[in-house]
Amino acid sequence: MLKDKLGLVFGVANKRSIAWSIAQAWHQAGARLAFTYQGERLKANVEELVGTFGQDTPIYPCDVTRDEEILSVFENLKRDFGKLHLVLHSIAFAPREALEGRFVNTSREAFRIAHDVSAYSLLGIARAAQPLMTDGGSIVAMTYYGAEKVVPHYNVMGVAKASLEATVRYLAHDLGPDKIRVNAISAGPVNTLAARGISGFGEMLKYHADHAPLKRNVLPKELGDTGLYLASDMSSAVTGEVIYVDCGYNIMGM
Site string for ligand NAP, 28-57 (x = CB under 6 A): ----------xx--x---------------
Scored b (16 or more CB within 10 A) or e, 62-77 reads bebeeeebbeebbebb
Among 59, 92, 132, 231, binds ligand NAP (CB under 6 A): 92
Of 90, 80, 118, the C-alpha closest to 227 is: 90
154 is catalytic: yes
C-beta of 57 vs 192, nearer to ligand NAP: 192
- Binding test (CB under 6 A) with ligand NAP, winner from 77, 91, 129, 171: 91
Stretch that binds ligand NAP, among 1-9, 100-108, 170-178, 182-190 (CB under 6 A): 182-190
Nearer to ligand NAP, 30 or 51 (CB): 51
Among 6, 8, 50, 64, binds ligand NAP (CB under 6 A): 64
* 100: Cα within 13 Å, side-chain hemisphere: 5
- Distance (Å, whole) CA 48 – CA 53: 10
Measured from the CB of residue 177, what is the shortest distance to ligand NAP in angstroms?
Answer: 27
Q: Which listed residue (37, 144, 229, 249) is catalytic?
A: 144
C-alpha 141/C-alpha 226 separation (Å) is 12
Stretch that binds ligand NAP, among 104-112, 126-134, 167-175, 188-196 (CB under 6 A): 188-196
Determine which one of 60, 145, 154, 249 is catalytic.
Answer: 154
Out of 9, 18, 23, 122, point to the residue binding ligand NAP (CB under 6 A): 18
With CB under 6 A as the contact rule, which of the stretches 26-34, 47-55, 63-71, 169-177 interacts with ligand NAP? Answer: 63-71
Q: Would you call 144 a catalytic residue per the annotation?
A: yes
Instruction: Decide whether 83 or 166 has the Cβ nearer to ligand NAP.
Output: 166
**Catalytic center residues:** 144, 154
Q: What residues line the site for ligand NAP (CB under 6 A)?
A: 11-13, 17-19, 38-39, 42, 62-65, 90-93, 117, 142-144, 187, 189-190, 192-195
